[in-house]
Structure 1
Amino acid sequence: MTRPDWRTLALGAALALSVAAALQPEIEAKRATYDVVAFVDVTGSMMARDYGGSGAPQSRLDAVKARLSTAVGRLPCGSRFGLGVFTERRVFLLFEPMETCRGFSAIAGAIAGLDWRMAWEGDSRISAGLFRAIEMAAGLGADVVFLTDGQEAPPLRADLSDPFEGEKGKVKGLIVGVGGTELVPIPKFDDFGRESGFFSMSDVPQASRLGPPPEGAEERPGYNARNAPFGEMPEGDEHLTSVREPYLRQLAGETGLGYARLAEPDALAAAIATNANPRPIAVPVDLSPIPAALALIALAALYGAPLTAGLRRRRAAAKGAS
């Protein structure tokens, strides 16, 4: 019986390996996945443009939309992602966490649809919104990602505190600081949604008028016990905005969350994975690339060996002729 030569064996191996690859063999393996709900600040200061350089500045909200959807795509399949918005003192859940790979088109479409017009109030109490976001995420069994520039409107009063009453660190997650460190103006829009300039100092409360008047208010300029118990409004720069990083770091420390500045999608996905709670699940791992690669090697050997031998003969013949 004639033994088949190596070329026949190589061709048969390539055929068998190709069939094996076409069958798409799989095994189950444990993979770390993440369940997160992201709440995006849609208040007015998020329309300030301090991303993208001086040539084509991008608003903070647009920067979040561009980076967040791509970062979600970087999370491992099997992870789940939900989305909500924040304004005033509350958060609103747009949809509960769904699987990121199968539902990516819907997730990306919802993120792209975020708009400042979703804000139902002009105020912005960051701490209250964050605490409610943590509470909502806990009810969903998920971790929280809170994206904001940290600007309170009206500004916080130093004599009044809003402490976190939940269990520190029970809910994992991340506060993402959005915006540059330099003060920039905040765009103003008319009733038809058209930009009409920028807020001025007189348009924005420069100090809080919430709660009882502080001690010593009667000594302030313009004080009137009935009509102006806080005195006259002081001058300030609350009509300008920058990321309030020290304040956001303080909130992260109080709640047990991590903190990161808004970065490129890979860095944002890594920050989410670092600060969220990994949830190992069994996922199918496709093994078809292995037999496909081996089949390619067999074909390369089958057709490459004669070519290499022919080149060697030509080189030898050229050397003999010389």
Structure 2
Amino acid sequence: MSSLRLSVDKDSRAIALALVLLLAAIVIPPVDLPHDTYDYLLVFDISQSMNVEDFELDGAPVSRLAFAHESARRMLREMPCGSRVGWAAFTGYRTIPLLAPVEVCAYYNDLLASLDQIDARMRWSNASEITKGVYWSVLAAQETTLPAGAHPDIVFISDGQEAPLLDPAYPPRVLDDLKKHSIRGWLIGAGSDAPSPIPRIDEEGHRQGFWRADEVIQPTAFGDDNAPAIEHLSGLREPHLRALADQVGFNYARLTGPESLSEILRDQRYARRRPTPTDLFWLPASIAVLLLALRFRPDSLVPLSRRR
């Protein structure tokens, strides 16, 4: 009888302890623990060449801008809590901030909803002066102050096509200013190496054919009569983006798949270690489950020596 009572007491204590641990798992508050986090202002090139469909998603052709959107969505899922992400758009020569960087876990749905609104209908110019756009991106980051006085890092996603074409004899003056800044960043190349026709998109976002060779500035305008007239076609101008990244002190990478942006932006060189609220509910909950599993395990799992 006494051994039975002792067994019941042990079982009761195990169940009571498991109950206390489960209650603790419900009420335990998040604890600030140091984690690697990231702060980014993503700039989307929304100029017309970004509507070239030279990517694929689920077997269907999609535009460079749509592929950049999907890459950003997947990146948000992988960013650690405590990281901050914001959006900006570039066309013409200006970069306009649309959403200041916000915490990715608390504002995840808001980030997705605002991302869906960034498309060709926002375009305010048909030009695409990439170098000036990077300059305005740096200014936007410098004017965006995060907690503790930090500034976000830049992620500029573009195919690198300058329109109008840069005159090699007269590089943009903003390059001198860009070399003096302290903002870190990425230039991310989007597009295929093979040139494709550039869709002509109206103000409502509808396609109206393609740009013709006689409608854009060709290299012959700068005295190079032997240069091919291909500025009405668009492929990834990777050498230009790499050179620009080197000139302004950014890193360069290329979108190779919808998951590649997430991998690029979790580069440890850009990590910012800071205390982040961390849920520890799983710890008491796991111990409670283990106690209950041991208490209610089948007799067949009990060693024979303990059954005698």
TM category (shorter chain) comes to 0.7 to 0.9
Is 1:176 paired with 2:178? no
> 1:208 Cα deviation (Å)?
7.6
Contact residue 121 and residue 204 of structure 2 kept, 8 A: no
Aligned to 2:267: 274
Aligned to 1:134: 138
The alignment's C-alpha RMSD in Å is 2.8
- Between 253-262 and 41-50, the greater mean CA deviation after superposition: 253-262
Provide, for residues 22-52 of structure 1, a one-character-per-residue CA deviation record: whole Å limited to 9, x for no partner: 2225432112222221111000000000011
1:90 corresponds, among 90, 94, 101, to 94
The residue type paired with residue 71 of structure 1 is M
Is 1:103 paired with 2:113? no
**Structure 1 unmatched ranges of 5 or more:** 222-232, 313-322
Is 1:61 paired with 2:54? no
The residue type paired with residue 102 of structure 2 is M
1:241 corresponds, among 223, 229, 234, to 234
The residue type paired with residue 247 of structure 1 is H
- Separation (CA, whole Å) in 2 of partners of 1:268 and 1:301: 45
The TM-score with structure 2 as length reference comes to 0.85
The residue type paired with residue 234 of structure 2 is T
> 1:270 Cα deviation (Å)?
3.0
Q: 1:259 to 1:235 in 2, by over 3 A?
A: closer
> 1:307 Cα deviation (Å)?
4.1
Contact residue 131 and residue 164 of structure 1 kept, 8 A: no
* Residues paired across the two proteins, number: 293
Is 1:203 paired with 2:203? no
Aligned to 2:147: none
Aligned to 2:165: 155
- Between 251-260 and 193-202, the greater mean CA deviation after superposition: 193-202
- Separation (CA, whole Å) in 2 of partners of 1:86 and 1:298: 57
- Separation (CA, whole Å) in 2 of partners of 1:20 and 1:192: 55
The residue type paired with residue 301 of structure 1 is L
Q: 1:85 to 1:146 in 2, by over 3 A?
A: same
> 1:200 Cα deviation (Å)?
2.2
Contact residue 174 and residue 257 of structure 1 kept, 8 A: yes
Q: 1:167 to 1:152 in 2, by over 3 A?
A: closer
Contact residue 82 and residue 104 of structure 2 kept, 8 A: yes
Contact residue 67 and residue 258 of structure 2 kept, 8 A: no
The residue type paired with residue 197 of structure 1 is G
Aligned to 1:48: 52
1:288 corresponds, among 281, 286, 290, to 281
Q: 1:99 to 1:121 in 2, by over 3 A?
A: same
Contact residue 154 and residue 207 of structure 1 kept, 8 A: no
Is 1:24 paired with 2:28? yes
Aligned to 2:154: 144
- Separation (CA, whole Å) in 1 of partners of 2:276 and 2:236: 39
Aligned to 1:123: 127
2:12 corresponds, among 4, 8, 23, to 8
**Structure 2 unmatched ranges of 5 or more:** 145-150
Contact residue 71 and residue 262 of structure 2 kept, 8 A: no
Secondary structure of the residue aligned to 1:4 is helix
- Separation (CA, whole Å) in 1 of partners of 2:31 and 2:202: 58
The residue type paired with residue 103 of structure 2 is E
Secondary structure of the residue aligned to 1:157 is coil
Aligned to 1:187: 199
1:299 corresponds, among 281, 292, 305, to 292
Contact residue 36 and residue 276 of structure 1 kept, 8 A: no
Percent sequence identity over aligned pairs: 31
Contact residue 26 and residue 285 of structure 1 kept, 8 A: yes
- Between 241-250 and 88-97, the greater mean CA deviation after superposition: 88-97
Contact residue 120 and residue 205 of structure 2 kept, 8 A: no
